[in-house]
Structure 1
Amino acid sequence: MDGGSAWFAGVRARRVVECVDLAAQSERVASGGFWAVVGDFEGPVRAWRFAEVTRDPGPGDQIAHPADAQPASGTWRGPASSSWSTSLDRPTYLRAVEAVREEVRAGRVYQANICRVLTAPLAASRGADGTRGAEPDAAALGRVLAAGNPAPYAGGVHIPAATGLPPVWVVTASPELYLRLDGDMVTSAPIKGTGITATDLQGKDRAENVMITDLVRNDLQRVCAPGTVEVTSLLRVEQHPGLVHLVSTVQGRLSPEIARAPDRWARILDATFPPGSVSGAPKSSALRVIAALETAPRGPYCGVVGWIDADAGRAELAVGIRTFWWRADAAAGSRTTQGGTLSFGTGAGITWGSDPAAEWAETELKADRLIALASMSG
């Protein structure tokens, strides 16, 4: 039986042994071990502990090539490129942008991230023993993405339903750091502002980034010692495959009370989740707007994907963007999978200065390369 696997830059884990709700049972995570973390935007955030962990040597635990992070796997067989559908079509998305602009005009929100979920049917694959009904090969998709769209926070977690634990199938090529913890130092690097080249970035992008950076700073102040939270980098232009992003970095030192608390992860999540860059400002008002306008749950998209090494006192959690997830059809049962759905989310931050057509185009830009890669076979 497949005991599950997880992989990130410099680390591979196998043989899952338990699963906990990170918000409700964070004391269990604090007791030790290596945990892979996946959280839905709507919750919950879960952590799976693994018995076997292999780390690659080298500065910062970085590896020579990101494709090497994935465990050995077969060939990826993706859905047909024509089979993808969207939860919000273009006219509906344009209307949603205008609705957010009205919320901004009325003073109820400054910015809200509006997303759509792309889905395609993905049937059962052939297992290692030649039988039908195996879950799709997540590691194989991971290798495709690592080769065609390398990302600083790439990784994946696959816990098959047959393990008897809560299943998960997520492969990410995320460029965005949600939280890094090293001892008591916590860092976040929100992304706001996307273009094909740096010349595409406009004043609206910079204003949006500053707004969300301030929100993240306020979130971290809820768990950090007074006077320790600072913006160490503002409006940095980062190059990624096929596009550029504006990125800022905020860091602070956890308060002694939270740093020592067995439930520190519950407290950190309560202060910062879901990530501000994919919700909006004020966060509570943006979440209300999102719930009213989006027609499909985001799932792991805009949630969190990453790892916690409780023994080393380190963690690296990415915002679940540029992320695929697969779920079995409800009728397929828990052990034999006859079919399922592959999903991918894309979105844009909407402000008063947003042009609806341009925001739709941004969602297309963010999706095109990854959807093309996932639709490949062979």
Structure 2
Amino acid sequence: MEVFRPTISNPDKFQIGKAMWLQKIDLKDPLVAANILSSRPYFAFLDSAMHQDKLGRYSYIAVDPFARLTVCGDQAYWNSVPEKGDPLELLQRHLAQFAFDEKIERRFPFQGGCIGYVGYDYGRCLEVINGYPETEDKAADINFCFYDVVLAFDHMTGESYLCSSGYPETQPDKKESRAKARLAQFSDWLSMPSKQASLDEKPNRLSLNWQSNFTKEHYCQAIETVREYIRKGDIYQANIAQSFSAELPDDFQPWPFYRQLRRINPATFGAYLAFGDQVIASASPERFVLLQDNQIETRPIKGTARRSPDLEKDRAAAEELLHSEKDRAENIMIVDLLRNDLSHVSTADSVEVTDLCRLESYAGVHHLVSVVTGKLRPENSSVDLLKACFPGGSITGAPKIRAMEIIAEIEQLARGVYCGSIGYIDFGGNLDFNIAIRTVTLSKNKAVFQVGGGITLLSDPEAEYVETLTKAAKIFESFGTSVSEMA
């Protein structure tokens, strides 16, 4: 057994302002720390397993929160006690209780706050969506844990720190005492012997009986239904997904599965949340929205091409995607929708498109990605930004509300976490969320994930069906299943 014991510095040397205590950890690979802490209560891992350019610079690990906010429908619970009021306003109120000193010096965008998700189905509470299907599992629509200690990794510098805020204490002496005690506690945990996870692990082959809510024929019919709505002028585009589910064996372990998923399909905006009986494993390539120092960025993905092991064929697929009239039109429509969403909370004339239909390549697919930016108005908060844009336009279609109604009519299933967003809101107001695609929900001995695509008038039904299987391939592989078995 290989044992890891990190080198840990004196916390007094790294006090920042009056609101934060840091300890440097001699550890570059977050997977090692995650492997040690994964069995701790409410383990959360925001995992930038893929680093490219400025994306994927940071990863964060947190456990043992001091508070939780969960929301089912329009009912919120703070530490399991019901609360009255708009759930997202309650989220903002609780974040404000623990706001950082404005003078705090930052080493990381996230140094304490809440980590969790907003499920796609919460969109029905933000807008009137006719014909919305009822959820069967009654899982939380919103689930956030509030963490006073975060283990933060900077993949650019190779540095990692324990960040301790001392919350929920707010009186200075008690806060400092708790912050230092928690640093000592986490240091002890990290110093415990642990077998390091191997990046060369081979996936276990599980004999799972995967079921979809669509046959190929029915999915193609659904595409034709969307195209007919487009012809009638109801919408320009809608995102239609098929849902795969399978019963899991009693000895299935979610954490080793996620390690396989991140090895097979490393992602810029990956996440693993173990919140009680529910585990979320995400290998998302897509940022929903970033807020850092009042600067907003959203990065919609629209346009997908399957990668080839043959270099020339792979280049040809990328070039074809770059020049695809259908995929570019799909992307530009969503860019326009997001420009409108951002304008509701951005200062005048600050919203702009800084990248349009650029090519990004991942383990199994090429994507077209655009970037829209803005500046948050002084009177608006990070939660206001989340409300203005949720759910992300890239996974609804345009116009958003009518597209969501058509999605509900055709899919006839609640989406859960899928196409919602996973991420953090910092006690200082920063925010970063993904679009929860390539995301598996594991609960009650069952695995569920969805894959879909944007449908336009130019869509070919069979090609759209094949695209869903292309997006599902790496998830199936992580379970030890070949996508060819599902075709």
Q: Give the shorter-chain TM-score range.
A: 0.7 to 0.9
**Is 1:280 matched up with 2:397?**
yes
Which structure's relative contact order is higher, taking Cα pairs within 8 Å and 6+ residues apart? Answer: 1
Q: Is the 8 A contact 1:78 1:122 kept in 2?
A: no
- Return the match for 1:363 from 433, 449, 468: 468
Q: Is the 8 A contact 1:73 1:139 kept in 2?
A: no
- For 1:25, the equivalent position in structure 2 comes to 90
2-structure distance, mates of 1:48, 1:142: 20
Change (3 A) 1:76 1:284: farther
**Is 1:11 matched up with 2:60?**
yes
- For 2:53, the equivalent position in structure 1 comes to none
The letter of the residue matching 2:64 is: R
1-structure distance, mates of 2:427, 2:158: 16
1-structure distance, mates of 2:253, 2:292: 32
> Computing the radius of gyration over CA atoms, which structure comes out larger, 1 or 2?
2
How far residue 145 of structure 1 moved from its aligned partner, in angstroms, is 1.5
In the TM superposition, 1:80-95 aligns within 5 A as 80=206, 82-95=208-221
1-structure distance, mates of 2:157, 2:347: 26
How far residue 314 of structure 1 moved from its aligned partner, in angstroms, is 2.2
2-structure distance, mates of 1:72, 1:189: 34
TM-score, normalised by the number of residues in structure 1: 0.83
Per-residue CA shift, 1:179-229, capped at 9, x if unaligned?
111021111000000002313422100000000011011101111111111
How far residue 72 of structure 1 moved from its aligned partner, in angstroms, is 6.7
Q: Is the 8 A contact 1:23 1:45 kept in 2?
A: no
- For 1:333, the equivalent position in structure 2 comes to none
- Return the match for 2:301 from 188, 191, 207: 191
- For 2:334, the equivalent position in structure 1 comes to 212
Change (3 A) 1:185 1:107: same
- Return the match for 1:307 from 395, 410, 424: 424
The letter of the residue matching 1:118 is: F
Q: Is the 8 A contact 2:238 2:454 kept in 1?
A: yes
Greater Cα shift, 144-153 or 274-283: 144-153
2-structure distance, mates of 1:62, 1:249: 28
Change (3 A) 1:295 1:177: same
- Return the match for 2:120 from 41, 53, 59: 41
Q: Is the 8 A contact 1:42 1:299 kept in 2?
A: yes
2-structure distance, mates of 1:198, 1:62: 35
- For 1:164, the equivalent position in structure 2 comes to none
1-structure distance, mates of 2:408, 2:346: 30
The letter of the residue matching 1:54 is: L
Look up the SS of the partner of 2:64 in the other structure.
Answer: strand
**Is 1:174 matched up with 2:284?**
yes
2-structure distance, mates of 1:151, 1:208: 23
2-structure distance, mates of 1:235, 1:279: 18
- For 1:132, the equivalent position in structure 2 comes to none
Per-residue CA shift, 1:215-246, capped at 9, x if unaligned?
01110111111111110100000001121000
Change (3 A) 1:139 1:108: same
The letter of the residue matching 1:14 is: V
1-structure distance, mates of 2:360, 2:159: 19
Q: Is the 8 A contact 2:289 2:296 kept in 1?
A: yes
Task: Report sequence identity in percent.
Answer: 33
Look up the SS of the partner of 1:25 in the other structure.
Answer: helix
The letter of the residue matching 1:253 is: K
1-structure distance, mates of 2:44, 2:197: 13
Per-residue CA shift, 1:133-185, capped at 9, x if unaligned?
xxx54332221122111110011111114xxxxxx310110000001110211
- For 2:103, the equivalent position in structure 1 comes to none
- Return the match for 2:265 from 145, 149, 157: 149
Greater Cα shift, 317-326 or 47-56: 47-56
Look up the SS of the partner of 1:186 in the other structure.
Answer: strand
Q: Is the 8 A contact 2:208 2:247 kept in 1?
A: no
Change (3 A) 1:236 1:342: same
Look up the SS of the partner of 1:227 in the other structure.
Answer: coil
2-structure distance, mates of 1:93, 1:61: 46
The letter of the residue matching 2:298 is: S
The letter of the residue matching 1:280 is: G
Q: Is the 8 A contact 2:300 2:334 kept in 1?
A: yes
**Is 1:346 matched up with 2:451?**
yes
How far residue 323 of structure 1 moved from its aligned partner, in angstroms, is 0.6
Change (3 A) 1:300 1:78: farther
Q: Is the 8 A contact 1:138 1:156 kept in 2?
A: no
The letter of the residue matching 1:3 is: P
Alpha-carbon RMSD across the aligned residues, in angstroms, is 2.3
TM-score, normalised by the number of residues in structure 2: 0.65
Q: Is the 8 A contact 1:38 1:305 kept in 2?
A: yes
Change (3 A) 1:316 1:60: farther
Look up the SS of the partner of 2:412 in the other structure.
Answer: coil
1-structure distance, mates of 2:157, 2:231: 46
The letter of the residue matching 2:474 is: R
2-structure distance, mates of 1:160, 1:60: 34
The letter of the residue matching 1:37 is: G
- For 1:160, the equivalent position in structure 2 comes to 276
Per-residue CA shift, 1:259-303, capped at 9, x if unaligned?
4xxxx40x2232111110000000011001001000322111111
How far residue 16 of structure 1 moved from its aligned partner, in angstroms, is 2.5
Look up the SS of the partner of 2:65 in the other structure.
Answer: strand
- For 2:355, the equivalent position in structure 1 comes to 233
2-structure distance, mates of 1:228, 1:57: 29
Change (3 A) 1:13 1:61: farther
- For 1:222, the equivalent position in structure 2 comes to 344
Q: How many residues align?
A: 336
Change (3 A) 1:139 1:314: farther
1-structure distance, mates of 2:415, 2:147: 26
Unaligned runs of 5+ in 2: 1-38, 49-58, 72-86, 99-111, 123-140, 161-194, 307-316, 482-487
- Return the match for 1:118 from 228, 244, 253: 244
How far residue 81 of structure 1 moved from its aligned partner, in angstroms, is 5.0
